């Protein structure tokens, strides 16, 4: 019985599809993944980043996603849902603040802030800010008046309120406010306040305050910061980002970042680059083994894997050139 070239081609297609499906069975996948990964890494070792992509290509791609792509309103909504889940889980915890944030981290951040010239200049600027000075002087004045009010016997306080003319009381109040304002300005403007030894005392005060605060349960933070506050802060930052991403300034920074990356890593081998970034063979193999087998098995069960193979291989076995080769056998 003579078999036509068309029938032979169909049998070859069926056989090839069956072979590939068998190679992608769960029992065969572990070895298949490792062999393919080693093959790719072996070939990649002979190439550099510049051999495959250019800075211009990456800059265009980065701009597309960072500057040009429309950001869906679903993103803030999703972040809000995630923040709510994180917030509730954190606040339901029995952990102390010290269990979440280490004291060494806080002090390292404080030391760095005090070391930056901008920080000291900012503190000096605050000492010249009229709004801050008025707030500090007003707070000091209220504290003094409260202290006098609470520490003075009620009978004496009543006598003074009846005997002293109101204009004297108002004048004394105004003079006290002016004096406190001048003294506060002098204190905050004095360079002596920002000497290293005084900043060391500030560091000690922050350390004492942190040690007290760190022993509080994380759940108490709900009194200071609600999940709505966090979500609103994100929305403010998100809106700022949406405006910034369309500016030439941002795009210039983006291009500079890509250029700096290629200046440093462009001539580095691909495998060496991956290791430099912390992406090792072990990590890649672990992720491939975790995700590939269940995904491919799901595709097999749904018939999508076979459909994909036939869709891509069928054209070769249906081609006239293939049928002509088979007819010559």
What confidence tens digit (pLDDT) does each residue in 248-261 have?
999 999 999 999 99
Residue 153 and residue 60 in one domain: no
102-118, pLDDT tens digit by residue? 989 988 888 887 776 65
Residue 196 and residue 117 in one domain: yes
pLDDT of residue 140: 65
pLDDT of residue 306: 95
pLDDT of residue 139: 62
Q: What is the mean pLDDT of the chain?
A: 81
Does 122 reside within a domain?
yes
Does 225 reside within a domain?
no
CA distance 234 to 84: 12
Does 305 reside within a domain?
yes
> Does position 227 have pLDDT exceeding 80, yes or no?
yes
Candidates 13, 71, 15, 48; CA nearest to 269 is: 48
Residue 120 and residue 169 in one domain: yes
18-45, pLDDT tens digit by residue? 999 999 988 888 889 999 999 999 999 9
Mean pLDDT lowest among 119-123, 147-151, 272-276, 291-295: 147-151
Residue 185 and residue 295 in one domain: no
Residue 64 and residue 100 in one domain: no
pLDDT of residue 168: 47
Residue 142 and residue 212 in one domain: yes
Tally of domains within the chain: 2
Confidence of residue 185 (pLDDT cuts 50, 70, 90): low
Does 86 reside within a domain?
no
- Buried/exposed code over 26-45 (b: 16+ C-beta within 10 A; e: otherwise): eeebeebbeeeeeeeeeebe
Which of residues 197, 216, 235 is at a domain's end? 216
Residue 43 and residue 138 in one domain: no
> Does position 159 have pLDDT exceeding 80, yes or no?
no
The CA angle 236-240-242, to the nearest 5 degrees, is 115
What is the percentage of the chain residues whose pLDDT exceeds 90?
38
What crossing angle do the helices spanning 103-115 and 196-213 adopt, rounded to 10°? 150
CA distance 266 to 51: 9
pLDDT of residue 310: 95
Ramachandran bin of 226, using left for φ above 0, alpha for ψ from -120 to 50, beta for the remaining angles:
beta
Does 238 reside within a domain?
no
The residue with tokens 């609103």 is 232
> Does position 278 have pLDDT exceeding 50, yes or no?
yes
Residue 107 and residue 208 in one domain: yes
Does 82 reside within a domain?
no
Helix (H) or strand (E) holding 238: helix 227-244
Does 199 reside within a domain?
yes
Does 22 reside within a domain?
yes
List the domain range (segments joined by +) for residue 58. Answer: 5-71+243-327
Residue 61 and residue 109 in one domain: no
Cβ distance 306 to 20 under 8 Å?
no
CA distance 63 to 61: 5
């Amino acid at each position: 019985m003579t078999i036509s070239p068309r029938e032979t081609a169909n049998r070859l297609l069926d056989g090839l599809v069956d072979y590939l499906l068998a190679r992608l069975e769960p029992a065969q996948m572990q070895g298949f993944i490792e062999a393919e990964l080693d093959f790719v890494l072996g070939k990649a070792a002979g190439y550099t980043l510049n051999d495959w992509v250019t800075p211009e290509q990456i800059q265009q791609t980065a701009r597309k996603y960072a500057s040009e792509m429309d950001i869906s309103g679903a993103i803030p909504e999703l972040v809000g849902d995630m923040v709510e889940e994180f917030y509730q889980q954190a606040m339901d915890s029995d952990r102390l603040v010290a269990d979440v944030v280490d004291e060494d981290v806080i002090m390292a951040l404080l030391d760095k802030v005090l070391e930056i010239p901008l920080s000291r200049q900012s503190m000096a600027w605050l000492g010249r800010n009229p709004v801050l000075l008025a707030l500090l002087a007003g707070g000091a004045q209220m504290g003094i008046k409260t202290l006098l009010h609470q520490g003075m016997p009620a009978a004496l306080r009543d006598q003074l309120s009846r005997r002293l003319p109101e204009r004297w009381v108002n004048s004394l109040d105004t003079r006290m406010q002016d004096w406190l304002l001048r003294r506060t300005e002098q204190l905050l403007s004095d360079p002596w306040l920002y000497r290293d030894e005084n900043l060391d005392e500030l560091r000690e005060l922050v350390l004492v305050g942190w040690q007290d605060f760190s022993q509080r349960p994380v759940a108490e933070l709900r009194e200071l910061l609600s999940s709505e506050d966090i979500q609103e802060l994100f929305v403010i930052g998100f809106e700022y980002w949406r405006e910034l991403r369309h500016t030439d300034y941002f795009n210039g920074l983006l291009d500079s970042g890509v250029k700096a990356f290629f200046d440093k890593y462009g001539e580095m081998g691909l495998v060496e680059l991956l290791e430099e970034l912390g992406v090792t063979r072990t990590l890649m193999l672990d992720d491939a083994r975790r995700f590939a087998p269940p995904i491919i098995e799901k595709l097999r069960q749904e018939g999508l894997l076979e459909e994909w193979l036939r869709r891509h291989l069928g054209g070769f076995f249906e081609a006239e050139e293939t049928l002509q080769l088979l007819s010559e056998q």
